Amino acid sequence: MRDRTSTAQSVTAHAQTHFATKRRRWIAGGATTLAAALTALVLSSCGTTSNEAPPSAAAIRSDAGALTVNSFPLSPSGPAPGASLQARTIARELDRGINFGNMLESPNEGEWGLRAEDRFIALVGEGGFTKSVRLPVRWSNHASRDAAAIIDPVFFARVDSVLNRLLARGATVVLNMHHYRQLDGDTLDPNETPVDASVVRVRVLSMWRQIAQRYANRSPKLIFEIYNEPHGAQETTWNDLLSRALRVIRESNPDRAVMIGPTFWNAAHKLPQLVLPPDANLILTVHHYEPFDFTHQGAEWVQPLRPVGVDCCDAAAQKQMSEILDLARREADRMGYPVVIGEFGAYSKAPEAARVRYLTFIRQAMESRQMPWIYWELASGFGVYDPKANAFRESLKKALYGP
């Protein structure tokens, strides 16, 4: 989700920090589980094969100082070939999806008011509800602060648990890297620990090596998304980083579908500057929160605060929404890849009837352009589900998913 400043119409704060309560951490049960997770983590961090003795954690850390971005090669150069049938098929499976937002991408799970509870996972595929889930994860706050960025085995086990249960329900899942504030030059959230500027970018690559190796044997219904809403960097910097990250992923996942979006918070108008490596198993993504004064009215994390009571959707608003979708569709077709609207939505401070009109219009507009979509989000400020009542907000659900 994209927020804005008063001067440039865009800011970097994304999360609803007013939901933050107290610092919570997951505690793993059982030494066996922890030991197994740590072993897997050490293997993944160093690219160790089954025929090699795993190095100690101390050895990994001693090598961390030598790691730089250039330790991770770029993907091969050359023209992007366009999408494979596999990538196009799995992109279609993402249609009418839901974001499990404000859960695992908070600094610590629960600090933004939600956990990835069984009751939410049980909704997936139930009673005609979606079987497409985007799972945002803040890995950066659960990894060592050095270049090796060794991911906490307890946190890894927690992500395992959520991911495995979603896949067991037959879901198609987008697993991403979300809210690495320093990567974008953002102000850190409460309970987020800074790292040295020299290791900010290389940590992305170190973490992706671990994530990719850990989930290499998962179902092809699992998609990796390299990073959510890159911003604060020039397109050349992002193109360089995504190229290296994709090569890291391809070391252990040669055929897995990988989702990539442009800069400026995944804005459609930045697609022309996105440089894709020559890889057929890619899916494009853009986010769409226009008209912003409607979708983010009353949102406490946006400054200046947008006034409430804004209606939607007159002819001008419909034109604006449609032009963004047309641009995304046109650029994706030019590049030869499917495009998914990975986030869109309207905050709860908007009038309910106007939210319904907005959701109905934009859903129909996306579907008429054959653009799969994933709504932001399930059960928080934009949510289609009321976690206190344990019930869907039926008017919103109907506007999105039908009766």
33: domain CATH number is 3.20.20.80
- In total, how many domains does the chain have? 1
- Tens digits of residue pLDDT in 195-242: 999 999 999 999 999 999 999 999 999 999 999 999 998 999 999 999
Q: What one-letter code names the amino acid at 386?
A: D
Phi, psi of 260 (to 5 degrees): -140, 135
Arithmetic mean of pLDDT, 36-63: 40
For 268-311, give the secondary structure using H, E and C: HHHHHHCCCCCCCCEEEEEECCCCHHHHCCCCCCCCCCCCCCCC
Domain of 106 in residue numbering reads as 28-66+83-401
C-alpha to C-alpha distance for 200 and 212, rounded to whole angstroms = 19
Contact 45, 150 (CB under 8 A): yes
Residue 277 placed within a domain: yes
Contact 379, 120 (CB under 8 A): yes
**To the nearest whole number, what is the mean pLDDT of the chain?**
88
Provide the pLDDT for residue 403. Answer: 67
Residue 53 placed within a domain: yes
Q: What percent of the chain has pLDDT over 90?
A: 82
C-alpha to C-alpha distance for 288 and 342, rounded to whole angstroms = 8
What confidence category does residue 370 fall into, taking pLDDT thresholds of 50, 70 and 90?
very high
What confidence category does residue 65 fall into, taking pLDDT thresholds of 50, 70 and 90?
low
Provide the pLDDT for residue 385. Answer: 98
Residue 242 placed within a domain: yes
- Tens digits of residue pLDDT in 18-40: 323 222 222 233 333 333 333 33
Which structure tokens are listed for 252?
């252990």
Arithmetic mean of pLDDT, 368-381: 99
Question: Which one has a higher pLDDT value, 66 or 56?
Answer: 66
Residue 308 placed within a domain: yes
Indicate whether this model's pTM tops 0.75: yes
CA proximity to 139, closest of 70, 198, 195: 195
What confidence category does residue 116 fall into, taking pLDDT thresholds of 50, 70 and 90?
very high
> How does strand 385-386 pair with strand 391-392?
antiparallel
Q: What one-letter code names the amino acid at 279?
A: D
Please name the residues in contact with 171: beta carbons below 8 A apart, sequence gap of 6 or more. 124, 125, 131, 132, 133, 221
Residue 8 placed within a domain: no
Arithmetic mean of pLDDT, 135-148: 98
- Tens digits of residue pLDDT in 314-361: 999 999 999 999 999 999 999 999 999 999 999 999 999 999 999 999
Provide the pLDDT for residue 24. Answer: 29
Residue 286 placed within a domain: yes
Arithmetic mean of pLDDT, 179-192: 96
Residue 385 placed within a domain: yes
Provide the pLDDT for residue 35. Answer: 34
Provide the pLDDT for residue 402. Answer: 87
Contact 399, 363 (CB under 8 A): yes
What confidence category does residue 269 fall into, taking pLDDT thresholds of 50, 70 and 90?
very high
C-alpha to C-alpha distance for 106 and 82, rounded to whole angstroms = 35
Residue 90 placed within a domain: yes
